[in-house]
Structure 1
Amino acid sequence: MSHKIAKVHPDDNVLVALTNLEEGETVSFNGSSYTLPGRVPAKHKFVIDELQPGDKITMYGVLVGKAQTVIPKGGVITTSNVKHAANSFEVGERHLSWNIPDVSRFQDKTFLGFHRADGKVGTANYWLVVPMVFCENHNLDVLKDALMEELGYAKPQQYKEFAKQVIQAYKEGKDIETIEFAQLQSAQHKSNGKPFPNVDGIKFLLHAGGCGGTRQDAQALCGLLAGYITHSNVAGATVLSLGCQNAQVQMLQEEIQKRDGNFSKPLYILEQQKIGTEAEMMSLAIKQTVAGLAYANTFERKPAPLSKLTIGLECGGSDGFSGISANPAIGYSSDLLVSLGGTVILSEFPELCGVEQNLSDRCVSVEVANRFGHLMRVYSQRAVEAGSGFDMNPSPGNIKDGLITDAIKSAGAAKKGGTSPVIDVLDYPELVTKPGLNLLCTPGNDVESTTAEVGSGANIVLFTTGLGTPTGNPIAPVLKLSSNTNLFNKMNDIIDINTGTIIEGKETIEEAGARILEHVIKVASGEIQAKSVANGQDDFIPWKRGVSL
């Protein structure tokens, strides 16, 4: 990698601009020079030889598109001159050798977590309030208003105070443009004034499902909610049900048993149509939830091996640097954790388009490879039947910042999974049960996918971004990693870790990956608070099995 351009894979016929390259500028790479016929913005790619219509575009060593027009040597590739293309795949021989990293630095490390009866260890300690159907969302809001401030979990209302100042100034005829917002210090999680200091908070999983839709939607929703209730970061739950919805309490209880046959956490179930008035239901909910919090408060952080970590791998707001800095960096972190006996989850199946053959070959058995192929093909076909397709996955922001085909985006996104064998393939919302690299079928939609990874057992999430996103999760810390330093400096209120150092040549992928794992250990131990947690970013969106890219 030079300071201006980079070649990601020896077989690639494109180079990546690491900085803005101007028309007429001459750049060199590995003894070859390129005089650029047009401007190449940073993060975008240009071809190393002239291409004719139909010629293949190769990046990350795989087919990512085909030329639609003549592209001169040094010409930038765009949505106008390149169209998405990806290789087909089939189940072939197993290729299970991988780049096993040196883990001596981490061999004796532990993290301080919350040990549960099922043997899992949480990185946080929450109480959940869960509605079985959207009709109960109002009651969740009532319960939240009643409890959060009294228990010391409410966030500072800094924008409310600012709004008061602006409105008062308007009433007094003052120029509101001159009023400046004064940032209050974020409230750190401290035990002062909190009756349950060992509990990180109460989380309310509002959603829009449970009644309308198919019975399959109800089953999937119950499976997801069961994943959260049985999660290592959760001590117990209050469940609010109306009574007549498709997502019945019995269905939830069956899904809980699938995930934990010896389930022993407190689970308080209140059904409104049986109880009666809102007052009767809320008084019961408040008393039982406070009792649950008292139980949750008996847990304290204790040492646990790194093998008890389950990391979700996610990306959102990706750019042209994501696949060469942040994604391969957490891919190395993934390989480190797998080597230590831990678990990682790679999801977002629409963003694995074009790299299926590599992932299929890495599956530990033909049976696992066949399941991966089946889920990919069915998902792709459903997208086509809905008038869409994986090729429509890149967002306007992706395209603007260099990800002009889904295959380019996918080849870079897959780097999050490192190089280890694929130990298992899961369909949403199944639970991860095997240590190692797991593939989970989810959409590429950031929040739906993150929601699913946590529901499958991720007790911490690494989320790479090139454009910036505040995404978080109610119960698992979501660490945001920037692919470039400009983003880290611009949005450091939501970004935890910068990997732009790789682009700048200040750090190798391996060095960044080890640094990331060190940070993960501190977050898992409660020593560092993830920005998403500090900001109260509790995004929760269940995936309905219709098409979502």
Structure 2
Amino acid sequence: MSRQFLKIHPDDNLIVALRDLQKEELIEFAGEEYLFPEKVKAKHKFAIRDFAVGEKLIQYGITVGEVVKPIVKGGVITVENTRHSSESYCAGSEEYHWEQPDVSRWQNKTFQGIKRSDGQIGTANYWIVVPLVFCQNRNIERMKVALQDALGYRNETHYIDLARNLVSHYQNAQNHDSESMGLASDDFIAPPRDLVFPNLDGVKFITHTAGCGGTRDDALALCKLLAGYIHHPNVAGATILSLGCQNAQMSLLQDELTKLDPNAITPVQWYEQQAYGTERKMLDAAIKGTFKGLQEANNVKREALPLSGLKIGVECGGSDGFSGLSANPLIGRVVDKIVALGGTSILGEFPELCGVEQNLLNRCARPELRSRFTQLMQAYEAHALAAGATFDMNPSPGNIRDGLITDAMKSAGAALKGGAAPVEDVLDYTEVVTRPGLNLLCTPGNDVESTTALVGSGANLVLFSTGLGTPTGNPIVPVMKISSNTKVYERMHDIIDFNAGPIVTGERDLEALSNELLDLCLEAVSGQYLVKARRLEQDDFIPWKRGVSL
């Protein structure tokens, strides 16, 4: 028979219901009898004893709340009787020892990835088309329609005809009227296969609502983020559209790119509408230039690469009361194995580290990392306060409905997806990862903003846990969705890649399931398994406006 209740840590004074418990139902657990005064829904917690006002509630061995109304033994924990409370933290250190997982099974394994000329290792090969300002979104969409139609969509417009003709000439590899097409005959080479660009995973058209109208800091942050995407090893090249008068100037992005790519290895094409005059002139040039760039990008092929080249970003969204019991610890076990193999993991969502700060500080490999983490956490909270928000406002209505009552309760489970490895670096938003091992990255808790940031900082695979179901994806990096429970996996199987539900019921072992998930990860980064978000073309991209999002 599967488990029905769970006490996570020996010090906990809360028990998690793994099934619905009815009012006046009598159960026995760990030698104690519980008669429930009200219904306790699955995923929610009930009291191990009577609690008076002011007492602390413990889960995962840490404080996750404070009692504001008396709770009787077996009583359910709710927003009416509990408020957020977390443990204080300091930059002092404790000796930390990490017991590395056994990775002998993968020691000599490789994956089929992309190796760039500067040594960067990617998991895909994309060309991206990006606006520097939101008023270019329409032109991005027109390019998208034109180039996608060239691959089979029907929509008779000037740009579609242009792209279709370019593809036709390329495939036929025959002479044409270079004056009418604006291209020389030597721009085309015969395709090696029936596909136009068989070695290119796609062309991604990214839009956003930033670039002008905000602060200069917002414009700089956008350019830093875009530079991270352009320089990403999954990106073969980029086409940039600009208006010309916006805050996010071309020169600003060029400066940030130079910092990451001083030798200008990644080809970038620049198109400014105000300089071209008419929209048609600019888009004609951008489509032709992009098409030529795709030919060069197609020359890159996948090859066998070591698992140490993997950089896994971890994320959770639509969390429930089971996320911290199954999907998050499962992800944590996988990333620990990648770190043990010399790879990299990235843990963000700073509002969801509230209450577990001391654990992370104790795991920091160097004293300066403790200071930086403390400074970033305090600065973030100050930004939130200035905007009229606090970290304890983080749980969404969906989180609360499914058992995550306080921010500390949510954080205690969310942090588990970062594994147990030592912290090797602490990064601010848009900073790019340079050290292998576990990296902490300052991002908001918002799913898409945080996933966008993880990729901008270098993640080439994202493992994303969900308890309620979310379609979140990314334009250039596979985002693999792991469900915390079997019900949501079966109900939303079109968006979820892997089910961690059997861990909750005790039907499957965490270690064995982590091996299966890691094997699936290797298929995904090798291009052999297409994650559900990619199949649905869920290309989410949202820059973070600092201090606004939790």
Same fold (TM over 0.5): yes
Map of 1:391 onto structure 2? 392
Map of 1:299 onto structure 2? 300
> CA–CA distance in 1 between the matches of 2:353 and 2:484?
19
Map of 2:521 onto structure 1? 520
Map of 1:17 onto structure 2? 17
Map of 1:151 onto structure 2? 151
> CA–CA distance in 1 between the matches of 2:448 and 2:244?
28
> CA–CA distance in 2 between the matches of 1:348 and 1:335?
18
Map of 1:363 onto structure 2? 364
Q: How large is the RMSD of aligned CA atoms in angstroms?
A: 1.5
Map of 2:164 onto structure 1? none
> CA–CA distance in 2 between the matches of 1:462 and 1:138?
31
> CA–CA distance in 2 between the matches of 1:57 and 1:258?
48
> CA–CA distance in 2 between the matches of 1:122 and 1:116?
8
Map of 2:114 onto structure 1? 114
| 1:333-388 per-position Cα deviation (integer Å, ceiling 9, x unaligned) | 01101000111110000010000110111111111011111111111122122211
| 1:254-302 per-position Cα deviation (integer Å, ceiling 9, x unaligned) | 1112222333121111111112211111111011100111011001110
Counterparts in 2 of 1:331 and 1:153: CA distance versus 1, 3 Å: farther
The aligned runs of 1:60-99 (5 Å cut-off) are 60-99=60-99
Give the letter aligned to residue 381 of structure 1: A
Map of 2:535 onto structure 1? 534
> CA–CA distance in 1 between the matches of 2:333 and 2:519?
12
> CA–CA distance in 1 between the matches of 2:463 and 2:546?
24
Task: Indicate conservation of the 8 Å contact 1:15/1:45, yes or no.
Answer: yes
| 1:295-351 per-position Cα deviation (integer Å, ceiling 9, x unaligned) | 110011100000101111000000000000000000000110100011111000001
The aligned runs of 1:119-198 (5 Å cut-off) are 119-151=119-151, 194-198=195-199
Give the letter aligned to residue 406 of structure 2: T
Q: CA deviation at 1:33?
A: 2.5
Map of 1:104 onto structure 2? 104
The answer to whether residue 347 in structure 2 is matched with residue 374 in structure 1 is no
Task: Indicate conservation of the 8 Å contact 1:24/1:37, yes or no.
Answer: yes
Give the letter aligned to residue 25 of structure 1: E
> CA–CA distance in 2 between the matches of 1:193 and 1:279?
31
Q: CA deviation at 1:154?
A: 9.7
| Pairs aligned (count) | 514
The SS at the match of 2:149 is coil
Counterparts in 2 of 1:523 and 1:358: CA distance versus 1, 3 Å: same
Give the letter aligned to residue 119 of structure 1: G
Task: Indicate conservation of the 8 Å contact 2:238/2:269, yes or no.
Answer: yes
> CA–CA distance in 1 between the matches of 2:547 and 2:458?
23
Task: Indicate conservation of the 8 Å contact 1:332/1:514, yes or no.
Answer: no
Map of 2:437 onto structure 1? 436
Q: CA deviation at 1:236?
A: 0.3
Q: CA deviation at 1:504?
A: 1.9
Map of 2:336 onto structure 1? 335
The answer to whether residue 3 in structure 2 is matched with residue 3 in structure 1 is yes
The aligned runs of 1:394-543 (5 Å cut-off) are 394-543=395-544
Q: CA deviation at 1:2?
A: 6.5
The SS at the match of 2:425 is strand
Counterparts in 2 of 1:441 and 1:535: CA distance versus 1, 3 Å: same
Map of 1:326 onto structure 2? 327
Task: Indicate conservation of the 8 Å contact 1:152/1:193, yes or no.
Answer: no
Q: CA deviation at 1:525?
A: 0.4
The SS at the match of 1:522 is helix
> CA–CA distance in 2 between the matches of 1:89 and 1:464?
27
Map of 2:220 onto structure 1? 219
The aligned runs of 1:188-337 (5 Å cut-off) are 194-337=195-338
Over the matched positions of the two proteins, sequence identity in percent amounts to 58
Task: Indicate conservation of the 8 Å contact 1:118/1:260, yes or no.
Answer: no
Task: Indicate conservation of the 8 Å contact 1:94/1:365, yes or no.
Answer: no
Give the letter aligned to residue 417 of structure 1: G
Q: CA deviation at 1:46?
A: 0.5
Q: CA deviation at 1:95?
A: 3.4
Task: Indicate conservation of the 8 Å contact 2:380/2:547, yes or no.
Answer: no
Map of 1:185 onto structure 2? none
> CA–CA distance in 2 between the matches of 1:471 and 1:16?
28
The SS at the match of 1:237 is strand
Give the letter aligned to residue 333 of structure 1: V
> CA–CA distance in 1 between the matches of 2:475 and 2:73?
49
Task: Indicate conservation of the 8 Å contact 1:19/1:41, yes or no.
Answer: yes
| 1:185-212 per-position Cα deviation (integer Å, ceiling 9, x unaligned) | xxxxxx9853111111111110111111
> CA–CA distance in 2 between the matches of 1:369 and 1:133?
37
> CA–CA distance in 2 between the matches of 1:253 and 1:220?
13
Q: CA deviation at 1:139?
A: 1.1
> CA–CA distance in 2 between the matches of 1:193 and 1:67?
66
> CA–CA distance in 1 between the matches of 2:491 and 2:467?
12
Q: CA deviation at 1:22?
A: 1.1
Task: Indicate conservation of the 8 Å contact 1:118/1:262, yes or no.
Answer: no
> CA–CA distance in 1 between the matches of 2:261 and 2:30?
56
The SS at the match of 1:20 is coil
Give the letter aligned to residue 117 of structure 2: A
Q: CA deviation at 1:25?
A: 2.0
In terms of mean alpha carbon deviation, does 538-547 or 219-228 score higher? 538-547
The SS at the match of 1:34 is strand
Counterparts in 2 of 1:270 and 1:525: CA distance versus 1, 3 Å: same
Map of 2:352 onto structure 1? 351
The SS at the match of 1:373 is helix
Task: Indicate conservation of the 8 Å contact 1:375/1:441, yes or no.
Answer: yes
> CA–CA distance in 2 between the matches of 1:491 and 1:201?
26
- List gaps (5 residues or longer) in structure 2: 156-191
In terms of mean alpha carbon deviation, does 204-213 or 19-28 score higher? 19-28
The SS at the match of 2:294 is helix
Task: Indicate conservation of the 8 Å contact 2:241/2:272, yes or no.
Answer: yes
Task: Indicate conservation of the 8 Å contact 1:348/1:442, yes or no.
Answer: yes
Give the letter aligned to residue 89 of structure 2: F
TM-score by length of 1: 0.92
Task: Indicate conservation of the 8 Å contact 2:473/2:533, yes or no.
Answer: yes
Map of 1:57 onto structure 2? 57
The SS at the match of 2:256 is helix
| 1:423-463 per-position Cα deviation (integer Å, ceiling 9, x unaligned) | 11110011011101001101100000000000000111000
Map of 2:180 onto structure 1? none
The SS at the match of 1:397 is helix
- List gaps (5 residues or longer) in structure 1: 156-190
Q: CA deviation at 1:124?
A: 0.9
> CA–CA distance in 1 between the matches of 2:245 and 2:386?
33
Task: Indicate conservation of the 8 Å contact 2:93/2:361, yes or no.
Answer: no
Task: Indicate conservation of the 8 Å contact 1:130/1:205, yes or no.
Answer: yes
Counterparts in 2 of 1:193 and 1:212: CA distance versus 1, 3 Å: farther
